[in-house]
Structure 1
Amino acid sequence: MNNLLIHILFFYYSVEFLFSRLIPFKKEDSILIVKLDAIGDMVIWIDVAEEIRSVYNDKKIVLICNNACLPIVEHLPFFDEVIGVDKHKLLINIGYRINLIKKVLCRKFSKVINPVYSRDYFSQDILIKLIRADEKIGSKGQYSNNNNIIAGFISDSKQIEKISLKLKLKGDKYYDNLIEVSYINLMEKTRNAEFCRKCINPNFNSNIPQIHFELPELNTFSSLNSKDYVLIFLGASTPRKLWKKQNYVDLIKELKEKNIVVSAAKGEERIWNEIKEEFPFEYIDKVIDLIGKTSLIELFSLIKNAQYIITNDTSASHITVLTRTPSVCLLGGGHYGRFQPYEVENIAEEDKKILPKVVNHKMDCYGCNTICKYINDKETTWPCIENITVKQVLDKIKQIEND
C-alpha cells in the first residue's frame, strides 16, 4: 500500500509538470534563489545573501523562502521580491501547489540557484524542475532530509535509503550545474561559503554580518531594561532536544540573583508550564515569562539586549551571533560540527568572544544524523543532551562573565 502511494505521488508529479508547461510566461533578467530551510539556516546564510546582492547589483533578485523566515528576509535589503512558501502545504495541498506554480511559472528567470546542501526531492528539487530558467544551479549535496519524508510511507530503513538514492539521481538531472562540495563534516557557514566561492565569488569568506534592519525597543513589548536580565530560551525544533526540566530549575536557582526571562515560540508554552507544575520553588514567580509573547523581530531585540542567553541548539542560538550576544548552547551529537560549534572564516578578534559557547556530552555515536540508537520515540530527550550537567553550563557562564 505504501509503495502504491509513492507511485501515485509520482504520477501526480508527471501530470503537474505537463500542466505547468501550458502556462504562458515572460522572460525576465532576474535571479531566483530557492531557499526553503528553517529560520536558523536562514540566519547563518545572511552573509552569503549580502554577497549575492553585491555581485548581482544590476539584477533583480527574487527569493522563495520558508514562510517562517519572512519576518527576517522582508526586512533585509538584499531581495527585490520575496515569495513565502508553506512547506507543509507544498507537500500535501494540491490547491496550494497549483496557486504557487501559477505564481512562479508565468516567469522565466535568467538563473535559479538552490544553495541548500541538504536538498530534498519533494519540496526543493521538484520545484526546481518546474521553474523556468536559462540556468539552474544547485549543490551536489546530500539527501538526508529526504529520509524523514519517505519514512512517512515506508518503515524499512534499507528501502528508505534505496528510494532516497534513486530520488537524488532523479533530482540531480533537474539542474544544469551541480556545484561539487566537500563531503567532510563542515560547519554550515563554511559550507555556505564553499558554495558561494564556486558559483558567486571565488574570494568570498564567511563572516558575521551586521543586522540590516532596525530592531524594536524593549519598552515597546516588555518592561525590561537593556543588559539587566539573563534569557533562557526553552524552545527547540523537537522535544528530543529539550534539556531535563530539573536541570532548568537547578540552573535558575543558581542564577537567583539575576533577573531571569524565559522565552520560546508560540505553542511552546507547555514547556515552562510543566516545569512550574512539577518543580515549584521559591523563585519561580520572579521569572518573567515571555514564551509566545514576542514576534520574531522582537525576539531579535530580546536577545540583543540580554546579558547573555542559555539556549538549545535552535534558531535563537544563531540569532545570538547576529546580535553579538554572548550565549551558551546545549548541543547534542546528531549533527555535531555542522551547525555548532561555530566557525567563521573572516572574524574580528572581539567577535570571537560572542560565538556560542557549546556544552555537550560526548558519546561514541556522535554524527548519527539524529537517528538515535538509544531512543526510538519522538518525545524522549536524546541522551547526549540529557546528560549535559548544570555545572557544565555554569562553567561556561563564568567564562562569559570573565570575558
Structure 2
Amino acid sequence: MKSTKNIKIPDNVEKILWVRPDSVGDAVLAASMFSSLKKRFKEAEIHVVCQAHLYDFYAACPHVTQTIGFDQQKLLDSPHYREELATLLGVQNYDLSLNSVYSPTFITDFLHSNNGAQIKIDYKTVVKSSPVNQLEIKHHGDFIKSLGCRVTEELSPLVWIPHHVEMFAEEFFRKNNLKTSTTIVLAAGVQFSPRLYDRYCEALESLCKEEDLTVILVGVERDRPVINNNLRNFTGKVVDLVGKTSILEMAAIIKKSRMLVGADSAAAHIACAVGTPNAIVLGGGHYRRFFPYSSLTYSAVLHLDCFGCDWVCKFDRPYCIQGVAPRTLEEAARGAFELSNKRIYFQESL
C-alpha cells in the first residue's frame, strides 16, 4: 500500500516549474498530469524544463505557458553551462517546483535543487511508499493526487498534436498513396541497447504479404543500424521516415496508421496515446513497470526467472529480447492487427 504525506501548498501560487528532464516515452506517460495540475492551480503559469528535443512536445500543451529546453550532454559536461541554466531558472522567481520523476538522476536532482523556487516538491516528498512493481503511470497518479489535485479518471498517455501536424500526416499519406487500413509503422529504435531486436521484419513478412501492407520506418538517425539489420531479406513495401520527422510528426503518422510494431519504447507509448494498436517485444528489465498498461498493446514475451533486473543483465546477451522468436512476435502483431482479446503472447522457451 502507498502512503502519502500532505504538504501545505499556498492557494496563491503564481508560477510553477515542472521538472521533467527525462525521455520521450516518460514525457508521454506523464503528460496527463497537466490537466489536473491546472485545475488545482487555475491562475498559475506552468513552465517546463526539459531536454531540447522535447521542446515542441511541451510547447503544444495548452496548459504550459513556457518551455525551457536544455542540452543534456552540456549539462553533464560543463559546470559553466549548469551555472547558466541555474541562473536562467532562478530569475523566473518560481513559487513552486514540482519533480514527479519516480527514479531521479543527477540531472533531475540538479534542476530541482537549483531553480530558486520557494517550495520544492519531489516524488518522495509526498509519496512515502508505493508498490515496487507498480506501473509507472500509477506513480504519476500517486504524485498528482498527493498535491491535492482532483483526478476524476485514470491517467493515460497523452500527446498534443496541433492541427497543422495532423495535416502533415494527411498529406504524407496522400502523396505516398497510403491507406490507414494497409499501413503499419515499424519503430525499431531504443534508448538502451539491451532492448535492440533485429527480427521485426522477419516477424512481419507473412502478414505484410497477405494483407499487402506498407511499412513506414520511424526513428532518429542513430537507429539506422538496427533498422538496416531488420530490413535484410525483407521483401515488403517500405517508406523511410527515419530522421525526417519531429516527435509530433511521428505521432501524427502513428495515429494515421493501422498498427505500430516495435520495441518497448517511446513510439509504443505514443501509439497508446493516439489510439493505435501496437505489438512490442517486451523484455524483463522493467517488466510490468512501463508496459503493458493499455488494451492497445500486444506483447511478445519470453519470460525468464531473471525478470526485474533493471536491465543489468547477468548474461552475455539479453535473452529476454534476443531470444524472442519471430513467430512469437508475429502472433502478437496479428493480434494487434485483428484487435484480438489476447494481449500477451508468451514464448515457453528459447
TM-score normalised by L of structure 1: 0.74
Aligned to 1:73: 58
Aligned to 2:185: 231
Structure 2 unaligned regions, length at least 5: 1-12, 340-350
Equivalent positions of 1:29-40 (< 5 A) are 29-40=14-25
Cα drift, residue 58 of structure 1: 0.8
Aligned to 1:22: none
Match among 166, 169, 172 for residue 216 of structure 1: 166
State whether structure 2 residue 215 is matched by structure 1 residue 260: yes
Aligned to 1:99: 84
Equivalent positions of 1:169-318 (< 5 A) are 177-201=125-149, 203-208=151-156, 211-212=159-160, 213-214=162-163, 215-217=165-167, 218-221=169-172, 223-227=176-180, 228-245=182-199, 248-256=201-209, 257-276=212-231, 279-280=232-233, 283=235, 286-318=237-269
Greater Rg over alpha carbons, structure: 1
Distance in 1 (CA, whole Å) between partners of 2:53 and 2:288 is: 25
Judge which range, 80-89 or 330-339, deviates more. Answer: 80-89
Aligned to 1:363: 304
Structure 1 unaligned regions, length at least 5: 1-27, 141-176, 344-351
Aligned to 1:383: 319
Equivalent positions of 1:114-129 (< 5 A) are 114-120=99-105, 122-129=106-113
Contact between 1:115 and 1:195, CA under 8 Å: does it hold in 2? Answer: yes
TM-score normalised by L of structure 2: 0.84
Cα drift, residue 254 of structure 1: 4.1
Question: Identity, % of aligned pairs?
Answer: 24
Whichever residue aligns with residue 225 of structure 1, its letter is: L
Aligned to 1:335: 286
SS in 2 for 1:107: coil
For residues 35-54 of structure 1, give each alpha carbon's deviation from its aligned partner in whole angstroms, at most 9, with x where no partner exists.
11110000011111221122
Distance in 2 (CA, whole Å) between partners of 1:196 and 1:204 is: 12
For residues 212-247 of structure 1, give each alpha carbon's deviation from its aligned partner in whole angstroms, at most 9, with x where no partner exists.
4323332544625341311111111123212134x5
Equivalent positions of 1:83-98 (< 5 A) are 83-98=68-83
Distance in 2 (CA, whole Å) between partners of 1:362 and 1:109 is: 46
Contact between 2:215 and 2:239, CA under 8 Å: does it hold in 1? Answer: yes
Cα drift, residue 372 of structure 1: 0.4
For residues 305-346 of structure 1, give each alpha carbon's deviation from its aligned partner in whole angstroms, at most 9, with x where no partner exists.
111111101100000011100111111100001100116xxx
Cα drift, residue 204 of structure 1: 4.8
SS in 2 for 1:237: coil
Cα drift, residue 111 of structure 1: 1.1
CA RMSD of aligned residues (A): 2.1
Cα drift, residue 107 of structure 1: 3.2
Whichever residue aligns with residue 110 of structure 2, its letter is: I
Distance in 2 (CA, whole Å) between partners of 1:402 and 1:335 is: 27
Aligned to 2:4: none
Equivalent pairs counted in the alignment come to 319
Is the alpha carbon distance of 1:231 and 1:224 closer, same or farther for their aligned partners in structure 2, counting shifts above 3 Å? farther
